[in-house]
Structures are given as C-alpha cells and as structure tokens.
Structure 1
Amino acid sequence: MKAYKGFDKDLKCRDFQFEVGKEYTEEKAEMCKCGFHACLYPLDCFSYYPPANSRYCLVEINDIVESKTQDDTKVCGKNIQILKELSLTELTLAAVDYVLDKNDKKMIKSSTGNRASSSSTGNRASSSSTGNRASSSSTGDMASSSSTGDRASSSSTGYMASSSSTGDMASSSSTGDRASSSSTGYMASSSSTGNRASSSSTGDMASSSSTGDMASSSSTGDRASSSSTGSRASSSSTGDMASSSSTGDMASSSSTGNRASSSVSGIGSVAISIGYQSRAKACLGSAICVVERGAWNGKTFPLIGIKSAIVDGETLKADTFYTLKGGEFVEVEDD
C-alpha cells in the first residue's frame, strides 16, 4: 500500500534510522508501540512531524495490522519500503491528488478552458480548473483546490485543506490548520495560514508566505522571497538575490543563493546565509551564520570561511545585516 511517512531532519523516526531505497521488516506491529507507521493522506504527516524541521517520503507499507480513527489516516504495518523523498511541493501535490481520488465524483467541480472558473463548497470537496486565467476555489474540511494555467489562481479554505496552482503568474492560497499551499510558475505566489501549515513557491520572482506555529515556507527562484511567521517556524529561500525571513521564537531562516539575505526576529532563532556576497541579520539573543566565498573559478564560488555568532548588541548589532569578509563580520546596508 502506498503511503507517506514523516521523519526528523536525519531521516529518523523514533530513533530508528531509515534510508531511501531500503526495505525494513519487523515481526510485530502495534499502533504507536512497534512496527512501522505511515499516513495515507500526505498532510496527516504534519500531526507527527511538523514541516519546520522534518522530512517526508513516499513509502510502500505492507502487512497492515491496524488503522487509526476516521479523523486520521495513520496505518501500522510489519513491512515498509522507503521509495522516494518528497519536497513540500511534492507532498502538497500528493495531497491534492489524494482528495481528488477519494472524493465522490458528484462532489468534484471541474472547469476547463480559458477564463474558466470552478468552485466547490463542502466537507472533503474538491475543485479543479484548467486554463489560462482560470480560477479554482474549494471551501470545506479536507477540501482540495487545483488550478493549472497562466495567471490562474487556486484557493482552499478548511482544516487539512490543500491548494495547488501551476502556471506563470499563478497564485495559491490555503487557510486552515495543517493546510498546505503550493504554487509553481514565474512570478507565482503561495500563501498558507494555519498551525503546522506549509507553503511552497517555485519560480523566479516567486513569493511564499506561511503563518502559523511550526509552519514552513519555501521559495525557489531568482529574486524569490520566503516568509514564515510563528513559533518554531522555518523559512527557506533558494535563488540569487532571494530573501528569507522568519518571525517567531525558535524559528529558522535559511537563504541559499548569491547576494541573498536571511533574517530572523524571534528569540532563540537562527538566520543562515551561505551564498556569494550574501548576508544575514537577527534580533538580540538570536544568531547568524554567514559564509565567505571567493571569486568565480569557472565551476563555483569557492568557500573561504564560515562564521556564526549570537547577536549580543555589542559585537554584533541587533536587526543589522552582516556579511563575512576576511573572516570577520562586516556590517552592510539594509536595502
């Protein structure tokens, strides 16, 4: 049976080390005690492994001995195979597919064509719209909304809802606890609001925003931006001149790309920036980590050094961007 499993950052679950591509078997299996566990609905994984510091995989779980209640799709089995690691975007799209596959066909509203629209209201409802400038909206618990096409938009409101929009200048919005939002396309935007929510946007000049405790936001593309608000939230931005911002206690912000920036504004948080001429800033009591790279050598910007420190208000100023030059932190302007 195909299912989805969450792990910690080291691909461990309850101190058991897993590897992608490997198969594991145990003699006994009992829910929450022994054996292997996974979820049929992808976003149920967030209940056990919040997206801020977790990893997720597509798995094959067999010899099922027990399933959880109707409020959760967790299953327990004696045999499991770790098939493939999934990004938040892939997990979100899998959630959309799950809802579409499981829903009664009468509850599915689909619209295909330019400037088309599709709206579905009801628990476990789904809405799909395909076409340029199309829109899709789904409201209800465990609802799903998918829109594919240039300038398309997708909105899903409800607990455990998911929203996916694919197309240039597309937008995707999902509101609800354990909700997920994914937008793929140039100048696309993705927004997810709710505890343990996740937001992923892929495309140059894309933006991704996630609000909620243990929320996660990821944006990939040049000049992209990623913002995550909430305790233990995480924000990641990949691309040249991209920006990553995380607001909330014990949050993390990571920016990968040349001349990118990373910032945090919560107690006990960390801002990491590892690209060429990149920068990071943090509030008082939080930390920054910045690398120094040399000039392009034909293959890469070679790593020269790396340095991290806690912002104390004296050696490092609060809410001030720093880069690394000659192995020392150097203050840079806040554009």
Structure 2
Amino acid sequence: MADKPIKAIKGFDHDLQCRGFQFAVGETYKHEGTVEACVGGFHAIPEDVHPLAVFSFYPPAGSRFCVVEVNGKTDRESDKIAAEILTVQREIGLGELAQEAVDWVMARASLEGPVAVKDNGLATASGDQGAATASGYQGAATASGYRGAATASGYQGAATASGYQGAATASGYRGAATASGDQGAATASGYLGQVQGKEGNALFAVERETWDGPILSVACGIVGKDGIKADTWYHAKGGKLVEVAQ
C-alpha cells in the first residue's frame, strides 16, 4: 500500500489506450482484482526510475505519454510499478519527456564536468562555445551557452542545445535531440532517434532497420521550410523527415 501518491510516467497507444483499456486525461481509475506487476493493476514507470524507461514498453513513434499519479495497493518489479488507483494528470510530448529525463539525471547524478561517462551521468556546458558529452547509459547532455554542443551517445540518452547556434546530437538507441536556440542543429543517428527544433534550426536524422543494422536512409531539413514545423518531433523514413505520430 502506497503511503502517499507516487508520480509516474505512463505510455499508451495512439488512442490513449493500454492493453485495450481506455484512459482519459484528468480521470481517476480503480483496478478491481489482483494488483501484481506484470499480472494485474495499472502499470507505469515510477518517479525513481529513469523516465525514458517507458520506451521499453511504448516506443516513441506512435505512442502517447502522460504524467500520472498512482496510489492504493502497489507492487514493484524492476523498472515498473503496478497500482490499484491511477490518475491521469496531463499528457506530455516527447520534448517534455526528454526534459523529464534531463531533470531526473540532474537530480540524482554527480556532475562529471563537461564529459559524463557514468551511467545516468549528467554533462552540462553553459559557457561560450562549450561542449557537453554524455556517453553513459541513459545519460543527459545539455548545452546552453553561445554555440554550445551537446552530445548523448549512450542508450536512451537525451541531448539539448538551447544556446545561439547550438548543436544537439543523439546517437544512442532511442536518443532524443532538441535544438531550441537560434540557428541551432539537432541530429539523431541512433535507432528510433527523434529530432526537433525551433524556427530556422537544422534537423538531420538517420533511419535504421534495427538498432545495430545498416543505415537505410538519411533525411534533413530546416524548420519552417518545406512543411517542417517547429517544436515537432521527426524521424527519418524513406529519405524524408516524417512527423512522429502522437
């Protein structure tokens, strides 16, 4: 039994369903029956687990994600929790989910300086032309300085560049790269990688058949041109930047 509500991240299909059960934002649900992880109850990724662990159950493309609160009877197994009561608080996009990952790492990891190699390590660069690199499992790299560079090459890494002409690169499996500064660039070369940026930013993505398979195609574009929208996630498909279904 949870002593108090637990914040969590939950994945859904494109209709906001999970295993055929229909959910709605703002609603609270109670499970009748056994509450046991992988057996019964409402399942989610609890706040003490890296948020991008949700991708193990719902991939970035075609899925939807929400911040939820679980309560009542609970049962834990590895990186997920089963609960008797679940409240769907709000829906979040992949951009906010990536930020949740950065915040999660920042709250728990020891800052390793401009280079992070440990699991869940955090690397930050805020100075002019600074560089931040995270290569550990589920690491996070953020560059906020003028012409800063952020690179995340670890599994489920998150790279964010918010400075003027900043560059964000995610090369790990299911990495997320975001460029929000003027004339920034976001690149995703890993399997199931996603890119997004502000108006005028450059996007580059690579399509692979499997996580370790050959490159099938590459795609690039400029946000604001040829129908590419700002603050929207894209991946490479057939040589084009294709909007990720939400």
TM-score by length of 1: 0.55
Residue 195 to residue 82, structure 1, CA distance change in 2 (3 Å):
farther
Equivalent of 1:60 in 69, 79, 82: 69
| Cα deviation, residue 24, structure 1 | 1.1
Q: What letter matches 1:235 in structure 2?
A: V
Equivalent of 2:31 in 26, 34, 49: 26
Q: Percent of aligned positions with the same letter in both sequences? A: 27
Residue 79 to residue 227, structure 1, CA distance change in 2 (3 Å):
closer
What does residue range 22-101 of structure 1 map to in structure 2 within 5 Å?
Answer: 22-27=27-32, 28-40=34-46, 41-63=50-72, 65-69=74-78, 73-101=79-107
What SS does structure 1 have at the residue aligned with 2:150? Answer: strand
Q: Give yes or no for the alignment of 1:236 onto 2:243.
A: yes
Residue 51 to residue 118, structure 1, CA distance change in 2 (3 Å):
closer
What does residue range 205-224 of structure 1 map to in structure 2 within 5 Å?
Answer: 205=225, 219-221=228-230
* Equivalent pair of 1:172/1:183 in contact (CA under 8 Å): yes
Could you say which structure has the larger radius of gyration?
1
Distance 2:194 2:22 in 1: 27
* Equivalent pair of 1:156/1:163 in contact (CA under 8 Å): yes
Structure with the higher fraction of residues in strand conformation? 1
Distance 1:96 1:225 in 2: 17
What SS does structure 1 have at the residue aligned with 2:97? Answer: helix
Unpaired segments of 5 or more residues in structure 1? 208-218, 238-251, 253-335
Q: Give yes or no for the alignment of 1:8 onto 2:44.
A: no
* Equivalent pair of 1:160/1:176 in contact (CA under 8 Å): yes
Q: What letter matches 1:48 in structure 2?
A: F
* Equivalent pair of 2:236/2:242 in contact (CA under 8 Å): yes
Equivalent of 2:224 in 204, 215, 219: 204
Deviation digits for residues 151-177 of structure 1 (CA, Å, limit 9, x no counterpart): 100113323433332112212223434
What does residue range 163-174 of structure 1 map to in structure 2 within 5 Å?
Answer: 163-174=177-188
Unpaired segments of 5 or more residues in structure 2? 1-5, 113-120, 212-218
What SS does structure 2 have at the residue aligned with 1:53? Answer: coil
Alignment length (residue pairs): 217
Select the structure with the greater relative contact order (CA < 8 A; seq sep ≥ 6).
2
Residue 196 to residue 179, structure 1, CA distance change in 2 (3 Å):
farther
| Cα deviation, residue 127, structure 1 | 2.2
TM-score by length of 2: 0.71
Residue 110 to residue 51, structure 1, CA distance change in 2 (3 Å):
closer
Distance 1:85 1:148 in 2: 23
Distance 1:202 1:80 in 2: 40
Q: CA RMSD in A?
A: 3.5
What SS does structure 2 have at the residue aligned with 1:220? Answer: coil
